Amino acid sequence: SLNCAQCQNQVFTQRTGEIASPDYPAPYPPFSTCSYNIQVEDGFLITLEFPVSCHVRFQFGPFCGKTLPAKIETQTNVVNITFITDMSGAHTGWKVKYTNENVVMSFVAECQKNASWNKPMAKCIIVDCGQPEDIDSGAIMYLTGPEKTTYGAAIQYQCAAPFYTMRRSRNFSFQNTVKVCGMQRTGAVERIYGGRRANPGQFPWQVMLITEHGELGGGSLLYDSWVLTAAHVVAEQRNPSTLKIKLGILNKYSVHYEEVQAERIFIHEGYRNDLVNFDNDIALIKLEHKVPMSTTISPICLPGKEERFQMKADDIVTVSGWGRTETRSSSVVLLYTELMIINQKECTDAYANKSHNGNPLVVTENMLCAGVEEGGRDACHGDSGGPLVLLDVQTRKWFVIGVVSWALDCAVAGQYGVYTRVTSYIPWIESIITNNS
């Protein structure tokens, strides 16, 4: 609109002045977006005052209404004001007067013949840094005194330990918390076919998924608002909000767990969803809100490019889930079992002459195989999308190196479970998370 065009990107460089809403003192127009920028020389601090009553809200407030807001001392020489209107009614608007004070390190004045100083006297004010920035998943401690932010005051940032640790930004001006990943809260894994019952906190990254069709699947918590799973688990999920996502749960029928909502589902663009070719069988679920960390809920680590994360034959890995067991029904409790990585050629050969519904089954370089030669231990139906994890001896942390994808049969000797190779998809995972966080 014309009114909107007249009040965008206005710049004020004089040391004092007035700014008013469009058409002031008449009501301001609806559906306008106005921006005002006050810029004065370095060394000056801008002060805002409202000489007349107004009917808007400011980020310093909310202010206004029937009483005047207090004077705002901004402690800066650049101030941006954005004014957005809707259609909530006709209001008079506002007017702001801005002035500034010159901040100097020293001040010289001369005594004149008439017994007066040649310039107005300066005043000393204490340096005030203002309120420190908030920190997610942590707290600010005022070491010098309650809410004290003036010269000499000290503050301390603390993370919600042990689930978060501190990371400083490159310019060291601000610190943020980083989720601690891959940490078990209970003892070591012992030596869901042939599986053992998981203990509380043993697999805190394990996620249970129940689709809108009632199908059971698994996933892994990444950071505090993402879940990694298999594409085939969520490929038919039309509405993200109807996907049930449970964390911190061991017994399927327990009422003690954290349920979260999916905001969006990202299926790898190379996944074909034809139930024969499972290449690129990987997906990410963005959660609506951050998950609170606890002894039973914390994320798994993503592997890096280091050689030790390139799986070799006979590496020991662990798979977990609520999938089908020897009794042919899905498990009530979370089970886990240790497996060995199978040589890629051996796995490819094992499926070379196998087919499903007349279509050949293909093991690609984006997949890895795990199992035991004699059979008896494996992931199975209902475990799909769940984590295949590795305990890294260097960091003593757990890393997700596979996603339960497919197999012809479960726990059959000479035939192995096939997993999506996570290291093949780190750039894709990082890109999705970075562009959608």
Question: What is the Cα–Cα distance from 383 to 272, expressed in whole angstroms?
Answer: 20
Q: Tokens in use for 360? A: 């050949």
Question: What is the Cα–Cα distance from 282 to 287, expressed in whole angstroms?
Answer: 17
248 conformational bin, left if phi > 0, alpha if psi -120 to 50, beta if neither? left
**What are φ and ψ of residue 344, in 5° steps?**
-60, -40
Query: Across the beta sheet with 44-49, what order do the strands follow?
Result: 17-20, 95-102, 44-49, 72-73
Q: Tokens in use for 197? A: 């019952």
DSSP 349: H
Question: What is the Cα–Cα distance from 260 to 112, expressed in whole angstroms?
Answer: 75
Q: Identify any residues that bridge with 84 across adjacent strands, giving them in sequence order.
A: 33
Question: What is the Cα–Cα distance from 392 to 81, expressed in whole angstroms?
Answer: 51
Q: Could you tell me if 423 and 310 are in contact, meaning their C-beta atoms sit under 8 angstroms apart?
A: yes
**Beta strand pairing status for 33-39 and 10-12?**
parallel
**What are φ and ψ of residue 289, in 5° steps?**
-135, 160
Q: Which residues, 6 or more positions from 132, have their beta carbon under 8 angstroms from its beta carbon?
A: 140, 149, 155
Q: Identify any residues that bridge with 321 across adjacent strands, giving them in sequence order.
A: 335
Q: Which residues are catalytic?
A: 232, 281, 384
3-state secondary structure of 42: coil
Q: Identify any residues that bridge with 221 across adjacent strands, giving them in sequence order.
A: 227
Transcribe 191-216 into DSSP letters: --BS-EEPPTTSSTTEEEEE-TT--E
Distances 237 to 145, 157, 213, 260 between C-alpha atoms, Å: 53, 41, 8, 16
